[in-house]
Amino acid sequence: MSTPHLVVHERQGHGPAVLALHGMASTADDWADLESQVVGRRFVAPNLPGRGPSRDVVAPPGLLGLAGAVVDAMAERDLGETVVVGHSMGAYLAPLVARSLADRGIPVRSVLLLDGGPAPARSIMTRPAVVAALFGLAALSHRATLSMRATRDAVDCLSRPAHLGLLADLDVPVHLIVATHGANRDKPPLLSDEAIEAGQSLLPRLTWKRLEGTHDSLLTDPLVAETVRRLS
């Protein structure tokens, strides 16, 4: 049975608000560490359609569908000035959300991308059919918390052009933190230096830093909370 509304974790506090967008097979729970480190700040973390408590929320496929659901949910709240933070898939989603928030008159203070945003270097592993197959298997293996929409969402993230250019005329800082390793320490990073440089060709003011760790360990690194505070 489908449900009409996103399940959103929200903590009241002072602004700017932090809007945190989680990764492909994750939920808002991924942001617990960051939330604990930005004491007193308003913190909003939606469970994205097809994931966790929002698994049965219906939204159009791909990143555009996710962005529409998030922005509709945020428009119901008096967010005020907002720092948009995204990890993994959430980092690919963040430019669409930030652009749409601004278009609806919700001021965006800054955008922080964690291990995502620029398109990864092209390889056999980023071919749409391969990405769809891999994430289709992941959805089947985690069907209680991840719907099959993950296949289209993953293709949009890993096989399609990046959306960084949507931020070109927003006069806000955009910073990227990338990991030195992939899912594990024996895996290469998701984003190479060359991939990031290609991202900067779309958004020349994009700044970035490579941080020792894995794709997921970024979520608990104190530098992320420090950067959120700096960008606020």
Q: What is the pLDDT of residues 65-124, one digit of tens each?
A: 999 999 999 999 989 999 999 999 999 999 999 999 999 999 999 999 999 999 999 999
- Complete DSSP assignment for 88-99: THHHHHHHHHHH
Burial readout 129-159 (b: 16 or more C-beta within 10 A, e: otherwise): eebbeebeebbeeeeebbbebbbbbbbbbbb
pLDDT in tens, 95-111: 999 999 999 999 999 99
Contacts of residue 197, defined as CB under 8 A and 6 or more positions apart, other chains included, come to none
pLDDT computed for residue 2 by the predictor: 46
Bridge partners of 45, per DSSP, are 9
Q: Are strands 41-46 and 8-11 parallel, antiparallel or unpaired?
A: antiparallel
**Distance of alpha carbon 11 from the chain centroid:** 19
pLDDT averaged over consecutive 10-residue blocks of the chain (232 residues)?
77 94 96 96 97 95 96 92 98 98 96 98 95 96 95 96 96 98 95 97 97 97 97 94
Q: Report pLDDT for 78.
A: 86
Dihedral sign (CA 156, 162, 165, 171): positive
**Closest to 46 (Cα-Cα) out of 178, 164, 55, 105:** 55
- As a whole number of angstroms, the distance between CA 92 and CA 118 comes to 8
Give the global pTM.
Answer: 0.96
- Nearest in space to 199 (alpha carbons), one of 100, 111, 121: 121
